[in-house]
Amino acid sequence: MDGSDLRKRKLAWAGWLALALAALVVGKACHDTMADPVIRGTTVILPRMPTGAAPVTVVLLSDIHVAGPNMPPSRVDRIIRRVEALRPDLIVLAGDFLSDPGIGITPYPIDVAIAPLANLRAPLGVYAVIGNHDHWGHRGEAVRRELARRGIIVLANEARRVGPLALGGLDDELVQRHRVTRLLAEMRSLGGGPVLLSHSPDEFALLPRNSGFQLAGHTHCGQVSFFGWAPVTNSRYGQRFACGIVRERGNVLIVTAGLGTSVVPFRFGAAPDIWLVTIRPR
């Protein structure tokens, strides 16, 4: 075999190897995009929760981004049935119910996108905040109305006493609607274990020491992630609040990967997830 034939054979092998690698990447992206959400669980101790109060189980959902082809309302229905099986005391939704046109993305009308959430039920209620995609295009009030029609309470810089918890819902930071200091003061006035619900996790950096527990979404855990590192997090703090459990200054943050996708209809290395959190007094 002369040198020319050897080079041709090496090029052929390199081509087949590149094709096989591309097939593996595409296959994993399809799996990570359409897989059933991973159920992640943890327990959080809230010192300001009334002593002797029963534990509260909370389901966190975020970034549903109802859109074709990967998150049609029928898929949302299936996910809601999984949530029902968890039998939580409280359900919180961290925004971005809607999607916007993107590469291969087809949005649904607002009422169609929100309709499957009518099946969410929990003894302590279902609460939500609005995300940046919901606000964009002046859709925020329409989303709020559709959620209210389905029995979901939207908190916009407002707090409620929910059982032994003081639940505060922060309006979205990306559209400059958040009022952190005022909301924290209202939560303190209610008593109970402080739980802050927001779309973006970035407000966690603003929380005073020992001020409580925050639940957020927005980052999609990068949506594309390589061994836990995401090139894009959509957070000003990069990897710091990109995903999972963060503990700083006596506060706890949980950031969910969410359910749907944005900009492009695929995930890689960042599977969709649902958090089931048990909150207990000290």
For residues 153-182, average pLDDT: 90
Instruction: Tell me, yes or no, whether 137 and 245 share the same domain.
Output: yes
Q: How far apart are CA 131 and CA 154, in angstroms?
A: 11
φ/ψ of 63, rounded to 5, equals 50, 55
What Cα–Cα distance (Å) separates residue 127 from each residue in 50, 113, 124, 197?
21, 17, 9, 9
Instruction: Tell me, yes or no, whether 27 and 113 share the same domain.
Output: no
pLDDT at 20 over 90: no
Per-residue pLDDT band at 228 (split at 50, 70, 90): confident
Instruction: Tell me, yes or no, whether 121 and 209 share the same domain.
Output: yes
Per-residue pLDDT band at 174 (split at 50, 70, 90): confident
Q: Counting Cβ atoms within 10 Å, is residue 103 exposed (0-12), middle (13-18) or buried (19+)?
A: exposed
pLDDT, residue 266, reads 87
Instruction: Tell me, yes or no, whether 13 and 49 share the same domain.
Output: no
pLDDT at 25 over 60: no
Q: How far apart are CA 255 and CA 42, in angstroms?
A: 12
pLDDT at 24 over 60: no
Instruction: Tell me, yes or no, whether 223 and 160 share the same domain.
Output: yes
pLDDT at 36 over 60: yes
pLDDT, residue 138, reads 85
Task: Quote the tokens at residue 233.
Answer: 């997090």
pLDDT at 22 over 60: no
Q: How far apart are CA 191 and CA 165, in angstroms?
A: 8
CATH label of the domain that carries residue 211: 3.60.21
31-40, 79-88, 128-137: least confidently modelled range: 31-40
pLDDT, residue 65, reads 97
Instruction: Tell me, yes or no, whether 24 and 41 share the same domain.
Output: no
Given a contact cutoff of 8 angstroms between Cβ atoms, the answer to whether 271 and 32 are in contact is yes
φ/ψ of 211, rounded to 5, equals -100, -5
Q: Print the domain residue range for 161.
A: 37-281
pLDDT tens across 49-74, in order?
999 999 999 999 999 999 999 999 99
Q: How far apart are CA 205 and CA 71, in angstroms?
A: 32
Cis preceding linkage at 69, omega within 30: yes
pLDDT at 12 over 70: no
For residues 171-190, average pLDDT: 85
Instruction: Tell me, yes or no, whether 4 and 112 share the same domain.
Output: no
Domain count within the chain: 2
What pTM did the predictor assign?
A: 0.90
pLDDT tens across 103-162, in order?
888 899 999 999 999 999 999 999 999 999 999 988 999 999 999 999 999 999 999 999
Per-residue pLDDT band at 29 (split at 50, 70, 90): low
Instruction: Tell me, yes or no, whether 92 and 74 share the same domain.
Output: yes
Instruction: Tell me, yes or no, whether 30 and 90 share the same domain.
Output: no
14-18, 26-30, 116-120: least confidently modelled range: 14-18
pLDDT at 26 over 70: no
End-to-end CA distance of the chain, in Å?
76
Q: How far apart are CA 64 and CA 36, in angstroms?
A: 13
Instruction: Tell me, yes or no, whether 19 and 52 share the same domain.
Output: no
Residue-averaged pLDDT of the chain:
90
Instruction: Tell me, yes or no, whether 55 and 165 share the same domain.
Output: yes
Instruction: Tell me, yes or no, whether 172 and 265 share the same domain.
Output: yes
